[in-house]
Amino acid sequence: MIVGYEAVQTVDRFGDAFEGTPITYVHQRERLGLGHAVLQAEPHVDGTFLLVNGDNVFAGSVAPAIEAVEEADAALAVEEVSPEVATTTGVIETDERGRVTGLVEKPAEPSSTLVTTGCYVLPPDAFHACALLRPSAEGEYQLSEAVGLLVRAGYDVATVRLGERVNVNTPADVERASELVREESGTNRNRL
């Protein structure tokens, strides 16, 4: 698990294991973007990996994203948003099969309203793609650019729609995410 700001709270909350599965913590000392965070985890990852941003809470399971890599090299969970929201996140362009053809992080004028939701299933070569990144104008290494490199290199990247998602940024988002978890916890105890 990649941790950074207020890492102690996360470590105190989860400890050394979650439901019997050991947790390895990797500290991202500088906040240099998601691409940089991914690189911090490289020594601890062997093979294809699931990445879920910690500030996103999903209803249901992320299993459809994992299952999508049975027929593709990688997968991104996506959703449709308003054009205004699309300017604040990674915008995805796809072909008729729903495969990713391009990605742009926080475009001023989005070409689509299909966006990333912070859930990725990526091949080991994603680490190499992240290592090739140059910092953005804000000084961050954007994972969306690394995925774009994979697409341009010929990787087949599928898009998957998951259940409801709450991107936790405000106290109201925390309350909505808590409600979502409460709703899901009684009916889906054993789902990933």
- Which band of pLDDT confidence, cut at 50, 70 and 90, is reported for residue 188? low
pLDDT of residue 153: 96
Cβ-in-10-Å burial (0-12, 13-18, 19+) of 125 comes to: middle
- Domain borders along the chain are 47-185
Q: How many CA atoms lie within 13 A of 92 on its CB side?
A: 26
* Distance from chain centroid for Cα 154: 21
Q: What is the pLDDT of residue 183?
A: 87
For 10-48, b/e burial (b = at least 16 CB within 10 A) is beeeeeeeeeeeeeeebebeeebbbbbbbbbbbeebeeb
Residue 187 has a pLDDT of: 60
Phi, psi of 113 (to 5 degrees): -115, 15
Say what the pLDDT of residue 33 is.
94
The yes-or-no verdict on residue 192 having pLDDT over 70 is: no
Residue 186 pLDDT more than 80? no
Separation CA 184–CA 53 (nearest Å): 19
Q: How far is CA 50 from the centre of its chain?
A: 8
CA 25 remoteness from chain centre: 17
Cα distances (Å, whole numbers) of residue 98 to 12, 76, 140, 162: 40, 11, 28, 14
Integer Cα distance of 86 and 92 in angstroms: 10
Which pLDDT score, from 0 to 100, does residue 113 have?
A: 93
Q: Which residues pair with 22 in a beta bridge?
A: 17
DSSP-based three-state secondary structure for 90: strand
Tell me the pLDDT tens digit for each residue of 93-128: 999 988 999 888 888 999 899 999 999 999 999 999
Task: Quick: pLDDT tens for 60-101.
Answer: 889 999 999 999 999 999 999 999 999 998 899 999 988 999
Residues 6+ apart with CB under 8 A from 68: 75, 121, 158, 160
Position 16 pLDDT exceeds 90 = yes
What SS3 state is found at 115?
strand
What does the pLDDT look like over 142-185, one tens digit per residue?
999 999 999 999 999 999 999 889 989 899 999 999 999 888 87
- 47-185 to CATH, choices 1.10.760.10, 1.10.30.50, 3.40.50.1240, 3.90.550.10: 3.90.550.10
